[in-house]
Chains A and B, each alone.
Chain A
Amino acid sequence: DVKVTQSSRYLVKRTGEKVFLECVQDMDHENMFWYRQDPGLGLRLIYFSYDVKMKEKGDIPEGYSVSREKKERFSLILESASTNQTSMYLCASRQGQGAREQFFGPGTRLTVL
């Protein structure tokens, strides 16, 4: 079974802090994604990576950056956390070009005070 893990289930940070959210997949997938989930808005794509060291902006990249130094790990970085970044963050991975399914991690609920 594909396993996508996220470093924390719950995280509380203060405004202005630098925040790292980590995601690891164990199936040698090429593509990885970061979404945020907000009630009534569904999932919105922040960034994705189609290969190691490659990244592309999604629909809402402002205030975020990403890093993918190794194939299995995709990090989301909030350079200076703000209260409007309080949300559920979901990581997903996909095998590669043409694959139909994205596999999701359990999510990290981030609260910024």
Chain B
Amino acid sequence: GEDVEQSLFLSVREGDSSVINCTYTDSSSTYLYWYKQEPGAGLQLLTYIFSNMDMKQDQRLTVLLNKKDKHLSLRIADTQTGDSAIYFCADRPHGSSNTGKLIFGQGTTLQVKP
């Protein structure tokens, strides 16, 4: 079945850029998502990218999609301590428009040091 993989941990200094990476196996994905989970909270949608795009920018966030390598990344510019959280990559496979089913990665814990 489909799979989504992420590294588990990333540590950066405040003010640096963070890059969180994700790989997926489904060659027919329609949408790919980045969700953020702050401590003690549920998941919040950060951004998503349609599979026919290769880049999307939203303020400090840049999403890059390499369909050939099935690689998705999230870059956070000027990382702040408030960005410390778990970041989940998720894939919506082709054919799941009706159900909305998502496949999530393991989550990357981002630690921002002052």
Contacts and interface: CB of A to CB of B under 8 A. Distances in A.
A4 B42 CA distance: 10
B98 A97 contact: yes
Contacts of B104: 35, 42-44
Interface stretch (B13-21, B43-51, B75-83): B43-51
A86 to B, nearest CB: 17
Given A100-B48, A104-B44, A56 B99 contact: yes
Interface in B31-73: 31, 35, 40-45, 48
A32 to B, nearest CB: 10
Contact of A50 (B41, B88, B98): B98
A45 interface: yes
B42 A50 contact: no
B8 A90 contact: no
Given A90-B42, A101-B45, A104-B42, A42 B98 contact: no
A48 B102 CA distance: 11
Contact of A106 (B41, B88, B99, B101): B41
A50 B6 CA distance: 29
B99 A31 contact: yes
Contacts of B100: 31, 33, 48, 50, 94, 99, 102
A94 B55 CA distance: 25
Nearest to A99: B100
Given A100-B48, A105-B42, A42 B99 contact: no
Interface in A65-113: 90, 92, 94, 97-107
Nearest to A38: B106
B41 to A, nearest CB: 6
A43 B88 contact: yes
Interface of A: 4, 31, 33, 35, 40-45, 48, 50, 56, 58-59, 90, 92, 94, 97-107
Given A42-B4, A56-B99, A94-B100, 10 more contacts: A42-B6, A43-B104, A44-B104, A48-B99, A48-B101, A90-B42, A90-B43, A101-B45, A104-B43, A107-B41
